[in-house]
Amino acid sequence: MKDTTGTHPHEPHGESLGSRLNWLRAGVLGANDGIVSVAGLVVGVAGATTDHGAILMAGIAGLVAGALSMAGGEYVSVSTQRDTEQAALKLEKHELKTMPEAEERELADLYEERGLSRELAEQVARELTQKDALAAHAEAELGIDPDDLTSPWQAAWASLLAFSIGALIPLLAIALPPTSWRVWTCVIAVGAGLALTGYTSAALGGANRLRALVRNVGVGALTMLVTYYVGALFGITTG
């Protein structure tokens, strides 16, 4: 029989791999939001005016405001989640301290419900409790790793960075080319960016790549089409 002990010691498995994939997927979606949001904004302004300064400033404002909004929202959301997890862990610590026997039976019940025999479930619960009671109960009852709680600041910075990177695509694409090429250059760049984020998010989630790509590019195209004509309807073209 092949001995796999110590094989691929640095290869991520289980929750570690799932956590990394979730972070990567969140980053891809953050970049996608940046692309769509700023593309809609700059194309809308381009529909209203040909003034390079106005388009550029609108794009920069959209990038900054969107990135800060994403970061702030993620910070508040993850902080709330972390507070809830910490409260649950505090309660679990109290229960383990005041009624350890009942907690061990509860843990055995959980493993029995997952398909283990009663005898094996009790053995697993006993051994896990002896090793690290809090970690065992947190994982089985709460789905929490007490040593790996999500950081609100890390989540906020990740969202800010992902959104900003995505937003730079339409901003640069519409700011750099000559006036007659601005909108189409932006459309092409945004389409390519959205195709990449759509394909990547589908690949990470195991979904149909082509469907996700077409859907993502379609939403971006519709956004730019609507905002361009809204800008053209209410704007004044300047030389």
Tell me, yes or no, whether 186 lies in a domain. Answer: yes
Tell me, yes or no, whether 10 lies in a domain. Answer: no
Tell me, yes or no, whether 185 lies in a domain. Answer: yes
Structural tokens at position 204: 């990470």
Tell me the C-alpha distance between 142 and 212, whole Å: 32
Q: How would you label 75-110 residue by residue, b for 16+ Cβ within 10 Å and e otherwise?
A: beebbeeeeebeebbeebeeebeeeeeebbeebbeb
Mean pLDDT (whole number) for 159-169:
94
Torsion of CA 185, 190, 196, 198, to 10 degrees: -150
Tell me, yes or no, whether 1 lies in a domain. Answer: no
Tell me, yes or no, whether 15 lies in a domain. Answer: no
Domain count, the chain: 1
In this predicted model, which residue has the larger pLDDT, 97 or 14? 97
Q: Residue 223: which domain range? A: 22-233
pTM to 2 decimal places: 0.76
pLDDT in tens, 10-55: 444 444 555 566 667 778 888 999 999 999 999 999 988 888 999 9
Residue-level pLDDT at 126: 87
In this predicted model, which residue has the larger pLDDT, 151 or 36? 36
Percent of the chain with pLDDT over 90: 36
Tell me, yes or no, whether 16 lies in a domain. Answer: no
Mean pLDDT (whole number) for 211-225:
92
